A and B are shown apart, each in its own frame.
Chain A
Amino acid sequence: MRAASETVETQMDSEAELGFWLYLMSDAVLFGLIFATFAVMATNYAGGPSGSDLFDMTNLALQTALLLTSSLTIGLAHHAVTEDRLGPTVLWMLVTVALGAGFLGLELWELAGFVAEGAGPGRSGYLSAYFTLVGTHGLHVTAGLIWALTLIAQLLVKGTGSREKSRLLRLSLFWHFLDIVWIGVFSLVYLPEFL
């Protein structure tokens, strides 16, 4: 009986994994269209500041380093949970949350600075598109952080069961996906402004 119910659980986890992957693909289409909107708006400054007036290289390099490193640590957390090592799993997840929170803090600080300078989303078409793109990515990171903290609590209470493993796998897919979106953001939105 027990073996049968475990097979059913594995089947459910693999279905949940495919369903979550399909959600990620739809999210990729969403981000692709926001990128297209940004590309269309890329020179609509309306007399306002452009990215080269606003962006700070140190901030960008730090944000990118934090997010890329967090992709490594969520991978290590997932690897630890597949080996049923609860301590390292929770530790790597906490490091991931810290790195993600650092990224989000830098992003909010940067966006708040733009708004304070009078370069908020209402200033020009360019800035509307910029705030939409970076803001949507930031909201996804926020959701990922809430999810990670919830999962840490579940792991501490319930241990490394198959449900928790499946949830951590899906969280790691989500987190790696957000890092891929960030590659697009720094390559398309930020770096060309420093040339």
Chain B
Amino acid sequence: MERLQAIFIGFGLAVVLTVLPFAAVLGKWLPRDATLWLIAIAAVVQIGVHLHFFLGVGFTRKHRERLVTLLFAGVLLFFMVGGTLWVMGNLYWRMM
């Protein structure tokens, strides 16, 4: 029963966090930069919602290994994606 509740809470939050950026883009409520920030924040929060409510990532003992390996993947991504953007951004700037 608890599991079913988590699915519906997660889905409800995901719908809100999806509709919000789409509505902001279509409605043009905010300046361009603010809309981009809204899209980015809604995406990060929604990824957190999916991880917690659908993929069972949390601080409880039950799936502790999921959290630990996810953090490890996060460290790898930080170095590889961050390094790629850093190097290529620097190259672009020098070629200007």
Contacts and interface: CB of A to CB of B under 8 A. Distances in A.
Q: Which of A35, A40, A61, A183 has the most CB of B within 10 A?
A: A183
A183 B36 contact: no
A84 B65 CA distance: 27
SS of B interface (majority): helix
Contact of A187 (B21, B65, B84, B85): B21
A29 B26 contact: no
B36 A192 contact: yes
Interface string B2-19: 011001101100110010
Interface in B16-45: 18, 21-22, 25-26, 32, 35-36, 39-40, 42-43
B59 interface: no
A194 B50 contact: no
Contact of A183 (B32, B46, B73, B80): B46
B66 A72 contact: no
B81 A187 contact: no
Contact of B35 (A28, A36, A195): A195
A177 B7 contact: no
Contacts of A57: 26
Interface of B: 3-4, 7-8, 10-11, 14-15, 18, 21-22, 25-26, 32, 35-36, 39-40, 42-43, 46-47, 50-51, 54-55, 65-66, 69-70, 72-73, 76-77, 80-81, 84-85, 88
Given A22-B69, A76-B4, A180-B51, 11 more contacts: A21-B65, A25-B73, A32-B77, A32-B81, A36-B84, A71-B11, A71-B50, A72-B11, A177-B55, A180-B47, A187-B42
